[in-house]
Amino acid sequence: MRVLESINLSLQRSAFVALMGPSGSGKTTLLNLFAGIDRATTGSLMVDGQNLMQLSRAQLAQWRAASVGYVFQLYHLVPVLTAYENVELPLYLHNLSRTERHRRVGEALDAVGISDRHAHYPRQLSGGQEQRVAIARAIVTRPALLLADEPTGDLDRVAAASIMQLLSQLHRERGQSIVMVTHDPATAAHAQRLVHLDKGELVEEVQ
């Protein structure tokens, strides 16, 4: 069964793109292709100058660690680690000193406005705070591409608006390339470009 069919899509560096469409339309699969989590069976897939189709699984894992930050709807924080430790976790895949890890974690926590909660565990944080920690974890490696799968889907309207203001700020101030999956038009409105999928096909695009 083909999940995506005849997708021809080019995304510019430093773009903020929203992928929209009904459930089962292939949005998350497309996001996972960008991340090198899923593998395309045919065609070509170039991300930041790298042809992902030519990489082995080990090479994909290395590329993903260096180039991609992923924000999940349900946060996926490690419950026995503090906010600081959760953000620091991906840095262990890089050859960094303890001092450099500390500096980067501090910068990431400051960027998302959650540094005062650095010693808190996920169970001690609100949903919005957990998502801010998850975003800090995604940006701490300074990835070329930030991917977000329904980043506001589990939040109330106030928390969702706060998270989208944060993502817009990261895009504006850092030139962060962001591709985001969402069902919510209010969330999608923060993006510069909307891409609509239906049944695995690109059906409409609004720029």
Residue ranges and CATH numbers for the domains of the chain are: 16-206 (3.40.50.300)
Convert the pLDDT of each residue in 178-194 to its tens digit.
999 998 999 999 999 99
The pTM score is 0.90
Q: CA 87, CA 49: separation in Å to the nearest integer? A: 27
Q: Above 80 in pLDDT, residue 123? A: yes
pLDDT at position 204: 63
pLDDT at position 3: 62
